[in-house]
Amino acid sequence: MTSVIFVSMYIGIVLATPMVPVIYTWTLKDTAHQKDPTRPRPETRLWSAMWGGSWTIPVSLFWLAWTDFVS
């Protein structure tokens, strides 16, 4: 039972891995039109947080509340 916490980490990694090439492609397209293409805009770096954290935080909070016991 002590290693059950790693299951949630594994699920998160499996769900986040397919997003990496997509976000990387978007970043390359966005930085190609800038003066300095080696430095992405701050908004561009937030794409992974917008796509990953926007729906996983409410789901994890609901999961935490659902499994809470009165005792």
Q: Using one digit for the tens of pLDDT, what is the confidence trace for 41-71?
A: 888 878 877 877 777 788 888 888 888 877 7
Mean of per-residue pLDDT scores for the chain: 82
- In this structure, is residue 53 part of a structural domain? yes
36 in a domain, yes or no?
Answer: yes
Tell me the residue range of the domain where 62 lies.
5-66
The whole-model pTM stands at 0.59
Report the alpha-carbon distance of residue 71 to residue 65 in Å, rounded: 14
Residue 48 within any structural domain of the chain: yes
DSSP 9-54: HHHHHHHHTTHHHHHHHHHHHHHTTSSSTTS--HHHHTHHHHHHHH
- How many domains are there within the chain? 1
Examine residue 37 and state whether it is found in any structural domain, yes or no.
Answer: yes
